[in-house]
C-alpha cells in the first residue's frame, strides 16, 4: 500500500487550489522549497507526475486533478476534526481565513474582526480583499462577506449590516459652475466618476422612486475600480461619485461633500457573512458566527 503523509497531501491540494508553489507556501505557512519537496516526494512514491511544471506555470496532470479532487473532502474533514480537538480548551485556536471586498473590510475591521481577536487570543485572522466573486470554499476560505444579492443560494448567509445605501455626492467646488442634478437623467450632462467592476464592465448607477427603476451608464473621463480612490476624487472636485453612504457620511456632515438625488437612492440588502452548510463547522468559525450575530444585533 502506498503511504502518504498529511503534509504531502496538504501540499498537493494547496498547489492545485492556488495554481502555484509560492501561493501554496503562503497558504500553508511554509517555504516554497518545502512544498516542492513534499509534492516531489509523493510523486516519486506513487510513480506518477501530479503537476506539469515550467518556469512560468504549474498545471495539474490528469492524475493530479483526480487525486486532488478525491482527497480534498477527506482533508477538509481531518482539518475540522483537528481544529475541534484543539479547541477543547476555553478558546478556539487556529487561523480564520475570510474573503471580502475592501470596502467591507474597512467597515468590519474595528467593530468585528479586531473584536474577535481580542476575545480569542489563540486565534489568527487572514483577510483577502478582492471585488471579484469567487468560490470561497474551493479557494480555501472559511467564509466570505458580500452583499446579500451576490451570495449563492446554496450558502448559509448571516446578516451583518441588514440595509445599506449608495448615494450621489460631489464637492462644493464641483457645483460652483454646475447646477445640482434633480432627476437621475440630469447626470448625463455632468462629469461623473465611472466605476469599473471586476468583470471589466462599467457599473451603471441605479436609482428608484415609487417603483420606477432607472439604471444609467453615466458619462465621465475618470474611471476607477476602487471606492477609496473614487472618494478621494470626489473630494477633490473631479466629478460626482456614487458611493456607499457610510463612507461619505462624515464628509457630508462637515460640508466637504454635498449629497444630491437623495430621494432617488433607496436602501438595499446589505452585507452578510456566508459559509457552506455542507460541512461541519470548525470551532473557530462557530465562534466568529456567534460574534457576527451579536454585532448585527447592535447595528
pLDDT above 80: residue 291: yes
3-state secondary structure of 254: coil
54, 67, 74, 89, 116 from 2: Cα distances, Å? 27, 13, 17, 36, 42
Residue with cell 485572522: 125
pLDDT for 86: 59
- What rounded mean pLDDT belongs to the chain? 89
pLDDT for 85: 66
Burial classification of residue 221, based on how many CB atoms lie within 10 Å of its CB (0-12 exposed, 13-18 middle, 19 or more buried): exposed
Domains (ranges, CATH) in the chain? 6-86 (1.10.10.10), 94-163+270-298 (3.40.190.10), 166-266 (3.40.190.290)
**For residues 61-89, average pLDDT:** 77
pLDDT above 60: residue 88: no
pLDDT above 60: residue 80: yes
Strands 51-53 and 58-60: antiparallel
The answer to whether the CB of 240 falls within 8 A of the CB of 169 is yes
Closest residue by Cα to residue 107 from 127, 136, 134: 127
pLDDT for 191: 97
pLDDT tens profile 224-237? 998 999 999 999 99
Q: Which three cell numbers stand for residue 228?
A: 477609496
pLDDT for 74: 83
pLDDT above 90: residue 69: no
Instruction: Return contacts of 217-220, CB within 8 angstroms, 24+ apart.
Output: 218/187, 218/188, 218/190, 218/192, 218/194, 218/242, 219/187, 219/188, 219/190, 219/191, 219/192, 219/194, 220/191, 220/192, 220/193, 220/194
pLDDT for 91: 76
pLDDT for 57: 81
Worst-scoring range by mean pLDDT, 40-44, 56-60, 103-107, 111-115?
56-60
pLDDT tens profile 134-190? 778 777 789 999 999 889 888 999 999 989 999 999 999 999 989 999 999 999 999
Could you give the CA distance from residue 299 to residue 291 in angstroms, rounded to a whole number? 13
pLDDT above 70: residue 90: no
**For residues 59-66, average pLDDT:** 90
> Is-above-0.75 flag for pTM?
no
The answer to whether the CB of 224 falls within 8 A of the CB of 217 is no
Amino acid at each position: 500500500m502506498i503511504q502518504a503523509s498529511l503534509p504531502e497531501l496538504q501540499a498537493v491540494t494547496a498547489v492545485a487550489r492556488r495554481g502555484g508553489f509560492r501561493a501554496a507556501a503562503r497558504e500553508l505557512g511554509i517555504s516554497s522549497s518545502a512544498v516542492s519537496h513534499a509534492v516531489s516526494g509523493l510523486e516519486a512514491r506513487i510513480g506518477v507526475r501530479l503537476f506539469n511544471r515550467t518556469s512560468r506555470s504549474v498545471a495539474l496532470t490528469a492524475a493530479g486533478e483526480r487525486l486532488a479532487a478525491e482527497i480534498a473532502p477527506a482533508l477538509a474533514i481531518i482539518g475540522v476534526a483537528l481544529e475541534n480537538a484543539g479547541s477543547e480548551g476555553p478558546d478556539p485556536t487556529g487561523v480564520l481565513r475570510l474573503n471580502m471586498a475592501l470596502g467591507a473590510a474597512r467597515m468590519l475591521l474595528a467593530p468585528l474582526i479586531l473584536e474577535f481577536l481580542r476575545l480569542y487570543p489563540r486565534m489568527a485572522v487572514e483577510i483577502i480583499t478582492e471585488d471579484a466573486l469567487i468560490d470561497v470554499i474551493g479557494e480555501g476560505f472559511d467564509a466570505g462577506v458580500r452583499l446579500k444579492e451576490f451570495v449563492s443560494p446554496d450558502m448559509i448567509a448571516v446578516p451583518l449590516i441588514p440595509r445599506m445605501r449608495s448615494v450621489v455626492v460631489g464637492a462644493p467646488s464641483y457645483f460652483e459652475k454646475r447646477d445640482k442634478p434633480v432627476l437621475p437623467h440630469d447626470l448625463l450632462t455632468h462629469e461623473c466618476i465611472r466605476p469599473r467592476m471586476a468583470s471589466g464592465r462599467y457599473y451603471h448607477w441605479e436609482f428608484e422612486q415609487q417603483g420606477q427603476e432607472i439604471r444609467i451608464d453615466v458619462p465621465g473621463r475618470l474611471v476607477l475600480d476602487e471606492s477609496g480612490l473614487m472618494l478621494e476624487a470626489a473630494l477633490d472636485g473631479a466629478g460626482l461619485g456614487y458611493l456607499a453612504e457610510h463612507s461619505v457620511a462624515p464628509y457630508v456632515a462637515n460640508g466637504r461633500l454635498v449629497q444630491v438625488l437623495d430621494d432617488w437612492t433607496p436602501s438595499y440588502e446589505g452585507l452578510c457573512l456566508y459559509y457552506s452548510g455542507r460541512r461541519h463547522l470548525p470551532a473557530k468559525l462557530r465562534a466568529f458566527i456567534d460574534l457576527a450575530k451579536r454585532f448585527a444585533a447592535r447595528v
